[in-house]
Structure formats: C-alpha cells, structure tokens
Amino acid sequence: MILDICPSAGMVTIRQYDTELKMVSLSSVRSSNSLISSTLPAGLVGLFVGGTSGIGEAALKKFAQYTTRPRAYIVGRSQEAADRIVAECQALNPSGSYIFRKADVSLIRNVDEVCKEIKTKEKAINILFLSCGVPSMDRSKTSEDIHLLAALNYYSRIRFIDNLLPLLRRASVLRRVVTVGGGGYESELDVTDFPALRVPQDKLRGHLTALVTLGLEAIAQRVPNVSFIHDYPGTVRTKLLDYLPEEMLRTLEFIPIDESGERQLYIATSARFPPADRVDTVGVPLGEEIGVATGTSGVVGSGMYSISSDCENVSSTVLELLGTMRRRGLVQEVRQHTEDEFSRATLGKAPSSASKQS
C-alpha cells in the first residue's frame, strides 16, 4: 500500500499497486531518450501547455536536451518564469527555438486564440504535451461558467487537441498527445454531473480521470494515426501541491522532478505507445525487454493508453471498468457533452437534448 497524490486533481489516495506490473526502469527510460537524436529527425515541434512550471517544465527541458534543432512552443501565465525557462533551454540546446505564448488556458476562447496563432506558424506538430493545472480543490468557475479544475484538467486540453489535430495528423513522424493527470485512477463517472460541480470530494479524482480517458478515447476512435496517452506522473513536488499542509508533505515519497521529466519525454517519444494504424515511424525503437503497451481497449498498440507512473499499463481492474463504461455508451455521451460545453462557452448555445449535464 502506498500513499500518493495525483498532482492535477490534487487528491491524496491510498493505492494498492498491481504486483503483476513491471516497472520500466529509469535506466531504460534514459537509454531510450538518448536515442532520440539518432532515431528521430531534427526539427521536431512540440507544444507544452503548462510548460512554465512543474512537470511540464521538466518535460520541456528534456525535450530541449535530447532533440536536434527542436522547436518548442510554451504556453503559460508567467512571463517571468518563461524568460528563465527559455534561457535554460537555450543553454541546454542552443540550436533549438523556444517560443513563449502567455495565456490563461482555463478559458476556451483563449485556447482558440493560441491555436489560431500556432496554425499560422506551423504546418505540423509532433508532440502536444498538456499539463496545465490549478493548486485548488474548490468548485469555483471560470468566466465561461466552467468548473475551473475541470476546465484545466479536461475541457481546455480537449480543445487544444481538437483544434490542433490537423497539424498533428500532418506530421511525417511521431504524432502524439500526452495529457498528464491520473491515468490508472479511473472510477465510475457520474453522468448527471460531468463537470464535477457536485461530485463528492472522495470521488472527484476518479470521476475527472475517467472523464479525461473517455474524452481521449472519443478522439482516438476517429484519428488512428495519432497516439494518445493519459498518464499518471506519480507524486512529484510541484506548486500544485502547495495547498497541502507541510506535515502531510513530509510523509510523502516524491519522484524527483528530473526523473519525472525523463519519463514524460519517454512517454512522448517511445515506440511503446504507437498510434492504432502503425503505418510508419512511431517513435524511438524499443529495447529487447520492453514491448508495445496495451491500450485502454485491452488491445496491444490500440493507440489510446492510460499509463501509470512507472510507464506501465494500468491494472486489469481499470481496463475492465473502462470496458464497462464503453459498452454503456459513455464515450459518446462524454463527447456530446464536451461539444455542448464548447458551443455554450464560445457561442452561447444551450446544451443539446442529448447531453445529460445538469
């Protein structure tokens, strides 16, 4: 039994790990990352939403460190943090280009503006890395009337993916979306309260995690040449945990931020997580002892993955739960709800009769 925390949802949980799962060792992760420059082309383009702190910053710096002539877009709220991070990335890899775009991405209209700007600058994107969050557990809403926690963990991330799918699909190699959250913590979804405004605190993490995974599944079903990963990074000491009392933080065992960055880049680049079609280059070739991951459908290499903190598949129990929700039609319900929320937030349209959001 291990006490750990989901940074994006801010929840403390006692978790029984599946003893059948084998951890992808840090040495294997680093070995894979060291091959990026020789097995993937120069000029990879990555967009890091939430890249000015925490796990997003760590992943961005590893992207700069290991790639050849990368071009990285960094989206966040702090110009001061961005200036520091851009300088550090340039020191790690002077051949790279690092562009900051200041934005509050809790608002869908701001997400649309950022995506529109990127579309004018890029014809293709290789990696869309999403780690934006908020160090708060209250049920406050954005000015677009969306639950703030859900806006950052789900709605804005899905909007980024929807908007930028044409650029992802156009990449010649490595078309991948990584959203950092609670992969493996999926639980029952309250279909009467998708935004989680009334979901009890002890069920909040599982609900939001399932919402993200099913929302990604809905996209993955229609885009077989892009791979999608919802991963749990483990307990990493970031600003998102600042709301916890110091006495609780002292009881936790943290994954070092440098290791977290290595593992996130591995998830974003390894051939372990291919798209469903697997028709061309899908990432850094695998070592002898590591195989292709099992997707959320239970099929190896299915293109949509929920991944634990050790870069392994989630438990069979979670896969069974996801299968049950899928058979109940919740993937389609989540997608319809999401589209309704986007229409309401951006166009002022009322939800459709098909949406069960109250």
Q: How confident is the model over 7-46, as pLDDT tens digits?
A: 444 443 433 333 334 578 999 999 999 999 999 999 999 9
CA distance readout (Å), 325 to 44, 91, 318, 320, 352: 36, 47, 11, 9, 21
Classify 101 as helix, strand or coil.
Answer: strand
Please report the pLDDT score of residue 28 as a whole number.
94
Give me the residue label for tokens 């590591």.
Answer: 290
Going from N- to C-terminal start, the domains of the chain cover: 2-347
* Contact indicator for 235, 252 with CB cutoff of 8 Å: yes
CA distance readout (Å), 40 to 26, 68, 226, 269, 270: 21, 9, 16, 9, 10
Please report the pLDDT score of residue 4 as a whole number.
43
CA distance readout (Å), 181 to 125, 319, 341: 22, 17, 21
Model confidence, pTM: 0.90
Residue-averaged pLDDT of the chain: 88
Give the homologous superfamily in CATH for domain 2-347. Answer: NAD(P)-binding Rossmann-like Domain (3.40.50.720)
236: tokens are 């990493």
Q: How confident is the model over 151-172, as pLDDT tens digits?
A: 999 999 999 999 999 999 999 9
Residue 126: pLDDT above 80?
yes
CA distance readout (Å), 259 to 146, 228, 262, 263: 34, 21, 5, 6
Please report the pLDDT score of residue 244 as a whole number.
60
Average pLDDT estimate for 78-87: 96
Q: How confident is the model over 244-294, as pLDDT tens digits?
A: 667 766 677 778 999 999 999 999 999 999 999 876 558 999 987 889 999
Q: How confident is the model over 175-228, as pLDDT tens digits?
A: 999 999 999 999 999 999 999 999 998 999 999 999 999 999 999 999 999 999
* Contact indicator for 271, 291 with CB cutoff of 8 Å: no
- The Cα–Cα gap between 155 and 177 comes to 15
* Contact indicator for 278, 69 with CB cutoff of 8 Å: no
Average pLDDT estimate for 105-120: 97
φ, ψ for residue 327, nearest 5 deg: -65, -25
CA distance readout (Å), 7 to 138, 153, 207: 15, 10, 15
Q: How confident is the model over 320-340, as pLDDT tens digits?
A: 999 999 999 999 999 999 999
Residue 132: pLDDT above 70?
yes
Which residues have C-beta within 8 Å of that of residue 334, sequence separation ≥ 6?
Answer: 189, 194, 211, 214, 215, 218
Classify 339 as helix, strand or coil.
Answer: helix
